[in-house]
Amino acid sequence: MEIIHNFINGQSIPPANDQYLENVEPAIGEIYGKIPRSTEQDIQLAVEAAKAAFPAWASTDIGVRADILSKIADLIDQKRSQLAQAESRDNGKPVKLATLVDIPRASSNFRFFSRAITQWSGSSYFMRGQESLQSFTIHQPLGVVGCISPWNLPLYLFTWKIAPALATGNTVVAKPSEITPYTAYMLGEICNEAGLPPVVLNIVPGLGHEAGQAIVEHPEVKAISFTGGTKTGSIIAGLAAPKFKKLSLELGGKNPNVIFADCDYDKMLKTTVLSSFANQGQICLCGSRILIERSIYNKFKSDFVAKVNSRKVGDPKIDENHLGAVVSAAHQQKILDYIALAEEEGGRILTGGHAIHPKGRCAKGYFVAPTVIEGLDNNCRTNQEEIFGPVVTLQPFDSEEEALALANGTAYGLASTSWTQD
């Protein structure tokens, strides 16, 4: 059983209350480790440490900060294989996907901000008619920044928050998702190896309403960068707004993929299979409502279903598998419940619609067949609520106006795709 601790002051520190959460490997459905169930006390310790470290880090020469961040990026690249395997073990995603996408993007986050910080500029403006008066902007670090990330792209989104905060001279208290904490723990070790001064980055795993909320509510945390569900974002906004904290929220989606008859059909088909089911549909940008011009609806439906049927689902360690496990038993159940709801709402399942139990090591893992559903109204719950799994719906449209109305007809506005030559 692997036990990880909090990373505070550059050291591995057990949680104050000695409580732990189980860490499950979704592809095999077994517990492989324990992680801290941190509380307010641990957050207090981490924030105090980060606050004490702030003046020195904020006044560290930009070139030195840039060099350290660049070294972190190099080390992530060097450890790409171990990080990808750890991420797949936590998350269920194919190791190949983590190796080719998630981990390289995590190192890119550090490398990008290590360079950007050396090019930062302000701006200044003379007041018209009074050239002796000038307004100007300067960029200054805020202090302690709280970074809270989700489970779907664990290291990539964690570093997307931490890298800019550190580059610009802030110190950080960060909480990875309690479901996928291991690569965050590895990042702590990498930061030590890269020479990041201890205390500048503190990593505190735990539950959202306990450790996460304690970060958001702490008066010394000046800004929150959060990625996750819209409901959670609303709770965080409600807590942070009265304290006038700076807030960055990246939330959920119900993304339309609008396909017009004049599109480059082969390119569209290939990409739509990928953009619907990459990472088991657990990417905030995955298209989940596919809207197709009626004249090509039937052709698209049969070609798409045939391609989806050729997707292999199974052990994420096997490179030939396109889809791995979904992230947890609870999430698998949520997806299956939505599929049952879609049927109740009058949807026809064209393929998928069930759990999968691969043979061998993954027999007890949490797998769901890629699922395509048609016949649903745009206003039904299946088409309005984020499922965040390998489930897409198909809807035909007759005109550009109708396509736009369907595409925009949800409360979400995160991302959209359109396929047309015009």
Q: Does 178 bind ligand NAD (CB under 6 A)?
A: yes
Residue 395 within binding range of ligand NAD, rule CB under 6 A: no
- Which residues have C-beta within 8 Å of that of residue 405, sequence separation ≥ 6? none
Q: Does 362 qualify as catalytic in the annotation?
A: no
Phi, psi dihedral angles at 256 (to 5 degrees):
-80, 140
Q: Which is nearer to ligand NAD, 152 or 416 (CB)?
A: 152
User: Does the annotation count 191 as an active-site position?
Assistant: no
* Nearest distance from C-beta of residue 180 to ligand NAD, angstroms: 8
Half-sphere exposure of 403 (CA within 13 A, CB side): 21
Q: How far is the CB of 263 from ligand NAD (least distance, A)?
A: 26
Q: Does 251 bind ligand NAD (CB under 6 A)?
A: yes
- Asked if 143 touches ligand NAD (CB under 6 A), the answer is no
Segment contacting ligand NAD (CB under 6 A): 86-94, 102-110, 227-235, 403-411? 227-235
Q: How far apart are CA 207 and CA 12, in angstroms?
A: 19
Closer to ligand NAD by Cβ: residue 232 or 371? 232
Q: Where are the beta strands (DSSP E) in 240-346?
A: 246-250, 255-259, 287-293
Closer residue to ligand NAD, CB minimum distance, 47 or 292: 47
State which of positions 332-371 bind ligand NAD (CB under 6 A). Answer: none
- Reported as type and span, the H/E element at residue 51 is helix 40-58
Query: What residues pair up with 313 in beta bridges, in sequence order?
Result: 323
Tell me the residue type at 216.
V
- Exposed/middle/buried for residue 238 (C-beta within 10 Å: 0-12, 13-18, 19+): exposed
Residue 290 three-state SS? strand
Stretch that binds ligand NAD, among 3-11, 21-29, 46-54, 175-183 (CB under 6 A): 175-183
Catalytic residue selected from 191, 284, 286, 362: 284
Chain-centroid distance of CA 133 in Å reads: 45
**Binding site residues, ligand NAD, CB under 6 A:** 148-152, 157, 175, 177-178, 208-209, 212-213, 216, 227-229, 232, 235-236, 250-253, 284, 386, 388, 414
Which positions are catalytic?
A: 250, 284
